[in-house]
Amino acid sequence: MTPTDPPSRKKRIFSGMQPSGEAHLGNYLGALRRWVEMQDEHDCIWCIVDQHAITAGGDPKELPGHVLDLAVSYLSVGLDPEKSIIFVQSDVPEHTELAWLFNAVTPIGDLERMTQFKDKAQRFESIPAGILNYPILQAADILLYKADGVPVGEDQKQHLELTRDVARKFNAAYGETFPETEPLIEKGVGRILGLDGEAKMSKSLGNTVPVLAGPDEVWERVRTAVTDPQRIRKTDPGRPEVCNVYSLHHFFADGDVLEDIATQCRGATRGCVDCKRILSDNITERFTPFRERAAELVEKPERVREILDDGAVRARAIAGATITEVRDRMGLDWRASIG
């Protein structure tokens, strides 16, 4: 780069997580560890999406505590307010304003075809409109910051494609405004199955490990993990390629250790309990610094609030500029006609 060349702009990354208390192993493996890695290379915005959370109901008295717990988890695993913007969705009202404006360009048929809408709708006798419109708010979350990319799992790819479609429709109707945000899907990381080996890791299903769990709790959770269903006795040869515990080892062990685990499994020279103990110890080792940082933050909740308040101010600076542009393009800046 010559002295006259402008510095290249970092790609802007946006993502968020619903607050249901402290983060868990699935959140960490599927998202948070990757977010931490992205901070040095990208312009990152991390959100706690509390307005998404209310679409599923829940106790409003618990929600503020869940927001704080997730914020502590964010900071404990290494999200850095000096490198990223970290904030709570409801502190930036432009999210819901843009979501309403996107209703003007989003066909209801597109929303009804969403796989997650079909799944969630089955839980309700009377389906809340928020369940249908959830992807519109998600599109607003992303496009409000004109994000270049969103780190997502395969299960969120359809939602991001809708976001790209919303951007295309808005641009066609009102002029070039939004980017077609790219899905950033990590190769080799598919759906993170829970310890039951059946469903995606979920706090509500109890098939995961809290990120801030101590050694005893980690072991109590991991020892229940389902392994190769055909390996009944310790002396039975195992099949690591179908064992969910072995798939989790990939996130915590290097190549030599993985090979040793697989070899001893196939040769029936190490039992499943011992194999799970190795996984438990590795999880504990990874999570110990998180737990220590969390203990410090819990003692200073005012520091967490300060970080979230500052993040909201920084987020609103970007969001406000986008909304001003959108209002102008949609003819909502009526004062401009007066002069």
Could you tell me the CATH number of the domain that includes residue 100?
Answer: 3.40.50.620
pLDDT at residue 7 in the model: 52
In this structure, is residue 5 part of a structural domain? no
Helix axes 272-298, 215-222, angle to 10 degrees: 140
Rg, the chain, Cα only: 22
Q: Based on the residue annotation, tell me whether 169 is a catalytic residue of this protein.
A: no
| CB contact set of 4 (below 8 Å; sequence gap of 6+) | none
Both 172 and 123 in a single domain? yes
In this structure, is residue 219 part of a structural domain? yes
In this structure, is residue 208 part of a structural domain? no
**Residue 311 pLDDT greater than 90, yes or no:** yes
| Catalytic residue from among 11, 146, 169, 200 | 200
Query: Do 12 and 45 contact (CB within 8 A), yes or no?
Result: yes
Look at the chain and report how many structural domains it folds into.
2
How far apart are the C-alpha atoms of 279 and 249, rounded to whole Å? 6
Band of pLDDT at residue 3, cut at 50, 70 and 90: very low
Residue 116 vs residues 52, 132, 136, 205: alpha-carbon distances, Å = 13, 9, 13, 18
Both 322 and 279 in a single domain? no
The structure tokens listed for 160 are 């991001």
In this structure, is residue 179 part of a structural domain? yes
Output the CA torsion 130→110→14→57 (10° steps). 20
Domain boundary (263, 279, 295) is at 295
Both 141 and 279 in a single domain? no
Both 310 and 291 in a single domain? no
Q: Which of 69-78, 79-88, 330-339 has the lowest mean pLDDT?
A: 330-339
In this structure, is residue 104 part of a structural domain? yes
**Residue 119 pLDDT greater than 80, yes or no:** no
Find tokens 């910051």 and name the residue: 145
Q: How many degrees, rounded to 5, is the angle at CA 120 between CA 116 and CA 122?
A: 125
Band of pLDDT at residue 336, cut at 50, 70 and 90: confident
Both 229 and 327 in a single domain? no
One-letter identity of residue 193: L
Q: Based on the residue annotation, tell me whether 10 is a catalytic residue of this protein.
A: no
How far apart are the C-alpha atoms of 213 and 22, rounded to whole Å? 10
**Residue 294 pLDDT greater than 80, yes or no:** yes
Query: Do 21 and 70 contact (CB within 8 A), yes or no?
Result: yes
Tell me which range, 38-52, 104-118, 178-192, is most confidently predicted by mean pLDDT.
38-52
Convert the pLDDT of each residue in 228-252 to its tens digit.
888 878 888 889 999 999 999 999 9
Higher model confidence: residue 339 or residue 328? 328
Both 262 and 333 in a single domain? no
Query: Do 89 and 95 contact (CB within 8 A), yes or no?
Result: yes
Domain around 307: 12-190+301-337
In this structure, is residue 2 part of a structural domain? no
pLDDT at residue 188 in the model: 59
- What mean pLDDT value characterizes the chain? 92
Q: Does the model's pTM come out above 0.75?
A: yes
> Which among 291, 158, 271 has a CA at the least distance from the CA of 217?
291
Both 124 and 219 in a single domain? no
Both 329 and 252 in a single domain? no
Both 307 and 262 in a single domain? no
| Catalytic residue from among 11, 120, 146, 169 | 120
Which whole number is the average pLDDT over 43-61? 93
CATH number at residue 229: 1.10.240.10
**Residue 1 pLDDT greater than 60, yes or no:** no
In this structure, is residue 207 part of a structural domain? no
Helix axes 129-143, 94-102, angle to 10 degrees: 110
pLDDT at residue 2 in the model: 44
Both 266 and 140 in a single domain? no
pLDDT at residue 4 in the model: 46
**Residue 6 pLDDT greater than 60, yes or no:** no
What are the φ/ψ torsions at residue 15 (nearest 5 degrees)? Answer: -160, 165
Both 248 and 111 in a single domain? no
Q: Based on the residue annotation, tell me whether 83 is a catalytic residue of this protein.
A: no
Which whole number is the average pLDDT over 155-179? 94
Both 288 and 322 in a single domain? no
In this structure, is residue 135 part of a structural domain? yes
How far apart are the C-alpha atoms of 41 and 29, rounded to whole Å? 20
**Residue 5 pLDDT greater than 50, yes or no:** no
